[in-house]
Amino acid sequence: MRYASLLRALLAGATLLAAGAVVAGPKADIIDTAKSAGSFNTLVSAIDAAGLTETLKSKGPFTVFAPTDEAFAKLPAGTVEALLKDKDKLTKILTYHVVAGEVMSKDVKPGKVKTVEGNMLNITKGSYGIKVDNAQVVAADVEASNGVIHVIDTVVLPN
């Protein structure tokens, strides 16, 4: 009997392959997704320097408002280098970019949302799209295995 079940399972799998079905592998976590994008090198380095890599590789889910390398370049000269040397301040800023849970753009509601850091981000939504504090979401809903990334054009700072 068990051979018949195994044979049916193998035949079913062969049929799916013959029909051209593609089985997608698991999505990468937030960190690996950011690394593979190639435009978050500063963010990934900062996350590593703050000791947050393992947290953002964990189950989550998390919503990350991820500043691009260009966003970090808008900061005054020397700011990133100084932050990389001040783990407490760096951690405070990075965790201000993270919200617990997975929030897709269609589910974003205007108003205040509590960050992992503890302060509130101000979310606005309109014909311009979505803004997080003074940062524009330039790409939304980048899915990861443990949450979602919304790409922003400015580093946001907690009060």
pLDDT digits (tens, 9 = 90+) for 86-101: 999 999 999 999 999 9
Asked if residue 138 belongs to a domain, the reply is yes
| Contact indicator for 91, 51 with CB cutoff of 8 Å | yes
Residue type, 122: N
Asked if residue 11 belongs to a domain, the reply is no
Asked if residue 56 belongs to a domain, the reply is yes
Domain at 92, CATH number: 2.30.180.10
The sign of the dihedral angle between the CA atoms of 67, 73, 77, 78 is positive
Within the chain, how many helices (H) and strands (E) appear? 7, 7
Asked if residue 1 belongs to a domain, the reply is no
Asked if residue 78 belongs to a domain, the reply is yes
Q: What is the percent of the chain where pLDDT is above 70?
A: 84
Instruction: Give this prediction's pTM.
Output: 0.82
| Contact indicator for 97, 65 with CB cutoff of 8 Å | yes
Asked if residue 86 belongs to a domain, the reply is yes
Residue 127 structural domain: 26-152
Asked if residue 159 belongs to a domain, the reply is no
Give the pLDDT confidence of 110-151 residue by residue, as tens digits.
999 999 999 999 999 999 999 999 999 999 999 999 999 999
- What is the number of structural domains in the chain? 1
Cα distances (angstroms) measured from residue 49 to each of 2, 28, 31, 64, 83? 53, 21, 13, 17, 9
